[in-house]
Amino acid sequence: MALLDVRDLSVVFKRKGTRPFTAVDGVSFSVEPGQTVGLVGESGSGKSVTSLAIMGLLPKRGAEVTGSVTFSDTELLTLSDKQLRDRRGRDLGMVFQDPLSSLNPVITIGLQITEVLERHRGMSRKEARSEAVELLGRVGLPDPQRRIGEYPHQLSGGMRQRVLIAIALACQPKLLIADEPTTALDVTIQAQILSLLSELVSETDTALIMITHDLGVVAGLCDEVNVMYGGRIVERAERHGLFARSRHPYTHGLLESIPRLDAPRGEPLRPIKGSVSDNIEWSQGCAFAPRCPNATDVCWSDPPELVEDRGGMLRCHNPVAAAEDAVTEGAL
């Protein structure tokens, strides 16, 4: 039994006077204990909304969440607000993108850790404090004894993200969702934070959902990768499979667009043309068709299904490496 099982999750944003917008459209995936799963996609692909829906953090009004999210046999989507609050932080942790704005500027970082420990682990203030010092030490914050009395603006970006990780892991959650945890950081710090995350996660056997637009992060960290586009998963593969032979033209394009040190000098980067705003509706065909180099007539008329493909999953009529594709096409 998987730790987290997301089935057919859809999020529709509704607002008076505007067309309903489907941000997440029938997403299914599961996470095993201790596994690291990546959700990859560009801005607007629905990856962050997926994570907020899992945590139950979307506003009640205006966002319609359907499908099911099962976390160790509990359906999260039907839990009451109070039940959900008891689980958040204790069973499910989350690390956000911007470490400065995710910390409360007017209280010390110590208090921000201890409040979680007091809330979920029933610790006294004193116990919580010594536990907090230990946690800060574990995430590699120098001189935690002193830092605990400091305010977020006194820490550097990397240190702040370490603090956020310490807070998220304070109650030893079984699942940690990291929403672009390194986007706001320097490249050198990014590497440190990523290795810290993977270290802590494997130490404590915590499952991790890594949300990112950065395939480099995926390469270093994830066991399995879900590539999202236009609110749907378009390709799923284990890490090596994805990098060695990406099948979906979108994934392929993402990989192609990464600057490489071993590429010949002067070789231009190959971006994916267009932007997310060029999408067509999934109901009309493949959302990626307007930007896809492989698009054919069928892409503009029939929405592709997510089907098994070489041990992974793929949602495409004309995958890359078309020579071997007669079989897949036939199966459709």
Residues that bind other proteins (CB under 8 A): 55, 57, 84-90, 93-94, 96, 98, 101-108, 111, 115-116, 119-120, 146, 149-151, 153-154, 164, 167-168
Q: Which two tokens stand for residue 228?
A: 């999202």
Other residues' Cβ atoms within 10 Å of the Cβ of residue 73: 8
Give the long-range contacts of residues 260-269, CB within 8 A, separation 24 or more: none
Neighbouring-strand partners of residue 38: 210, 225
Contact 196, 162 (CB under 8 A): yes
**Minimal distance in Å, beta carbon 100 to other proteins?**
9
Write down the H helix ranges in the chain: 47-55, 81-87, 109-121, 125-138, 144-147, 157-169, 187-204, 215-221, 239-244, 249-256, 297-301, 326-331
d(CA 319, CA 108): 52
Which residue number, 167 or 208, has a Cβ lying nearer to other proteins? 167
**Minimal distance in Å, beta carbon 166 to other proteins?**
12
Which residue number, 94 or 128, has a Cβ lying nearer to other proteins? 94
**Minimal distance in Å, beta carbon 70 to other proteins?**
19
d(CA 177, CA 38): 10
Which residue number, 119 or 239, has a Cβ lying nearer to other proteins? 119
Among 37, 2, 4, which Cα is nearest to 198's?
Answer: 37
**Minimal distance in Å, beta carbon 85 to other proteins?**
5
**Minimal distance in Å, beta carbon 103 to other proteins?**
6
Which residue number, 60 or 265, has a Cβ lying nearer to other proteins? 60
**Minimal distance in Å, beta carbon 161 to other proteins?**
12
Q: Which two tokens stand for residue 103?
A: 């910390």
Which residue number, 147 or 232, has a Cβ lying nearer to other proteins? 147
Torsion of CA 252, 253, 259, 260, to 10 degrees: 20
Which residue number, 167 or 242, has a Cβ lying nearer to other proteins? 167
Q: Which two tokens stand for residue 130?
A: 């010594």
Which residue number, 88 or 232, has a Cβ lying nearer to other proteins? 88
